[in-house]
Amino acid sequence: MRLSVLDQSPISEGSSGVDALHNTLDLARLADELGYHRYWVAEHHGGPMLASASPEALIGPIAASTERIRVGSGGVMLPHYSPLKVAETFTILAALYPGRIDLGIGRAAGTDPLTTFALQRDRRQASPDDFPEQLSELLAYLDNDLPAEHPFARLAETLPGLPEVPAAWLLGSSAQSAVWAAQLGLPYAFADFINPGGDAIAAAYRQRFSRSARRLTAPFTAVAAWVLCADTDEEAQHLATSSRMTLTLLRRGRLIPVPPPEQAIEFLAREGKPVTGALPGRRGIVGSPSTVRAGLEQLASEYGADEVIVVTITHDHAARRRSYELLAEAMSLEPATLTSAPPGTFYPT
């Protein structure tokens, strides 16, 4: 089972977005050294807790700071962008770091409706819900298979990074995303940390998968999970109280920086909320290395997953580093070597 990282660049109380972004670079270097397979950065806008507003801006510095780990978006929220612009940006990245760039594509806004509207270039009306068309156009640029009569056909040949292209993924947390990924022959990453219990959706993806000569000949499933590992179960539960507080307030429409555990415990006590057990409305794999290993193996088995992508948020960056170190040891990760391939080769996984 491959193990990877999804980093949302959390902003801790008392720190800044600048600190969070530098922590992302530091954690990426650590993940590379430890043997994680890929390092994805998320896209979120307009909140005080997450600094990852522009994955395309982070991928280059991360790839430059690491040696062999795959780097990509988890994901680019395509409704905000022109498919051509995304194709141009990611072929540039693929050219600079061949064989290492992933383009994870998502449909969600990654923010609230007002910020979504602020991100629009044309604000005369709401943007259309045309994600399937956007996705098809983006893939057609990367595959250079727009019909000859299409008005944009010549643009596919002008992508600046050719012949290098990124490996395209579809991200999702619903049944519809699985249908699209299966129809298009794309690898599929399901966000269990958003919508726990999506194993039936992952199974439907595999059942409906259509092999693609340009992409995958067999389905490939990753599941993204919220994980926190510490030396003991008790310490891990203590650290997880920060996320318990943020999730509780998120459900009330309040976004806050990641609080320290001591503050979170006081808040949870006032609210009469538990400080251990399941996270509110989410699945959390929290505990010592043996506890977390068992949880990850069970999760991968439920989803039939080829890969698990780990999301970890703590107030203290050192605790987050320690979590990934313990997890790498528990899962017996070993640093891998980069496999070279001819220019233009598609890297599905």
Whole-number percent of the chain with pLDDT over 70: 96
E-only strand ranges, the chain = 2-7, 38-41, 70-77, 101-106, 167-172, 188-191, 221-229, 284-287, 307-311
Q: Say yes or no to pLDDT of 339 above 50.
A: no
What average pLDDT does the structure give for the chain?
93
> HSE of 2 in the Cβ direction (CA atoms, 13 Å)?
20
* CA distance readout (Å), 279 to 87, 196, 225, 237, 299: 37, 11, 12, 10, 16
Confidence of residue 337 (pLDDT cuts 50, 70, 90): low
Length of the chain: 349
Q: Give pLDDT tens digits for 106-134.
A: 999 888 888 988 998 888 888 888 999 99
| Cis status of the peptide bond prior to 274, with omega within 30 of 0 | no
Phi-psi category of residue 183: left, alpha or beta, with phi > 0 → left and psi -120 to 50 → alpha = alpha
From 3.40.50.740, 1.10.3720.10, 3.20.20.30, 1.20.1260.10, which CATH number describes the 2-233+287-330 domain? 3.20.20.30
DSSP 8-state secondary structure symbol assigned to residue 155 = G
| CA separation for the pair 174, 247 (Å, rounded) | 20
Q: What is the pTM of this model?
A: 0.93
Q: How confident is the model at residue 18 (pLDDT cuts 50, 70, 90)?
A: very high
- With a cut of 70, say whether residue 202 has pLDDT above it: yes
Amino acid letter, 243? S
- Please, are residues 92 and 79 in contact by the beta-carbon 8 Å criterion? no
Q: What is the pLDDT of residues 232-243, one digit of tens each?
A: 999 999 999 999
**For the chain, what are the domain ranges?**
2-233+287-330
Statement: residue 309 has pLDDT above 50: yes
Dihedral sign, Cα of residue 272, residue 275, residue 276, residue 277: positive
pLDDT of residue 263 exceeding 70: yes
Separation between Cα atoms, residue 325 and residue 229, nearest integer Å: 9
